Amino acid sequence: MPELPEVESVRSGLARHLTGRTIGGVEVFDPRSLRRQAGGAEEFVRRLSGRTMTAAVRRGKFLWLHLDDGRALSAHLGMSGQLLVRGTSAGTSSGAERTRDADSDEGDAVRHADPAAMRAPTLVRELSTRPRHLRVRLHLVPVDGDAPGGAAVDLVDQRIFGGLHVTDLVPTPDGAPGGMGSPAALLPISAGHIARDLLDPALDRQDVVMRMRSSSRAVKTILLDQRIVSGVGNIYADEGLWAAHVHGARPGARLGPRIARRLLEQTAAVMERALAVGGTSFDSLYVDTDGTAGFFARELAAYGRAGRPCRRCDALMRSEVVGGRSHTFCPKCQTRPR
């Protein structure tokens, strides 16, 4: 599932392409993508037609577009969802810059990269009017500079675990902005249970440390709990734990305050590095609004590297199950708790 860096890459693209744009019409090709919409497809079309999008906002892995009537278009990408923007005058993302950065040989992580991850990225944007797995299309009211065929936003979703719905906004409990992309202290009702993420300036990290240390659960399980801190999935949990020298099975109650703070700092730092190159794309499913893949897969130090040498000490990485999720770790750098 896309995690914070991947979803933030999508959010920034939506903000660039869609802020101030008006939805002229809506086509629903598969109503299963609207299963969270009260009133179904007809209500979804009614609520969106003629609405202007004023901001693109993200909290953790959750994404929404503010609408000019005070509601929000909430989007969840699920396992394979893509929001692809076509035909606008906003220009493309920094995919070319990512390519130049990724082609450099600087850094130990790049020199140790998996050859499969070093392949050039592919673009999944299709120029056909009906791409495969198209579920919903939002047609934009034309403006100068748009493509001759018009501009649109496509929800393309192979597995249909994600979806769209229009929802009301509610005030944030702490009065701080709801998420990245808008100063408004508002959240979609459906995201009200989601905690702030590690890149959110309003996150109370000391409170997160206290909650982690008050739990007997494995620390990896705690990192994946979106009610404690959002945006972290299996990839960046493994990467943060490796960077902090912490085994994922260690109970939160056995973390000292200094180690807990270090774990949060290192996990945030990994996500910031991933965000700088568009996130982690293992296949054509994880892309931004322009269909551009991220390059962080070549820098991964833990996730998916079982049986390969640790980038720090050369011990062979191992994998086991923690809390029902796979966990890749270094047996020498990340001592397993007794």
Domain boundaries, the chain: 4-91+133-191, 205-329
Q: Cα–Cα distance between 197 and 180 in angstroms, integer? A: 10
Q: Which of 61, 71, 211, 250 is catalytic?
A: 61
Residue 275 is predicted with a pLDDT of 86
Determine the pLDDT at residue 125: 42
275-278's contacts with Cβ under 8 Å and 24+ in sequence apart are 275/4, 275/5, 275/8, 275/9, 275/199, 276/101, 277/98, 277/101, 277/102, 278/5, 278/6, 278/9, 278/93, 278/94, 278/95, 278/98
Asked about 3 being catalytic, the answer comes back as yes
Q: Which residues, in sequence order, are bridge partners of residue 186?
A: 171
220 is catalytic: no
Annotated active-site residue 111? The verdict is no
Amino acid identity for residue 150 in this structure:
G
**Catalytic annotation on 61?**
yes
The pLDDT of residue 290 = 61
What confidence score (pLDDT) does residue 277 get?
81
Annotated catalytic residue within 217, 261, 262, 325: 325
Catalytic residue of the set 3, 8, 239, 299: 3
Can 4-91+133-191 and 205-329 be said to share one CATH topology?
no
Residue type, 190: S
Backbone angles phi, psi at 65, to 5 degrees: -115, 125
| List of the chain residues with pLDDT < 50 | 92-128
Q: Would you say domain 205-329 falls under CATH 1.10.8.50?
A: yes
Query: What is the pTM for the complete model shown?
Result: 0.84
Beta bridge pairs of residue 58 = 63, 180
pLDDT at residue 121, as a whole number: 31
Q: Are 255 and 263 in contact (CB under 8 A)?
A: yes
Per DSSP (E only), the strands in 47-90 are 53-59, 62-67, 71-76, 81-86
Q: Give the pLDDT of residue 213.
A: 97
- Catalytic hit among 2, 5, 177, 188: 2
Nearest to 55 by CA among 145, 167, 180: 180
Kindly report the CATH class assigned to 4-91+133-191. alpha beta
pLDDT of 112: 32
Supply the pLDDT for residue 115: 31
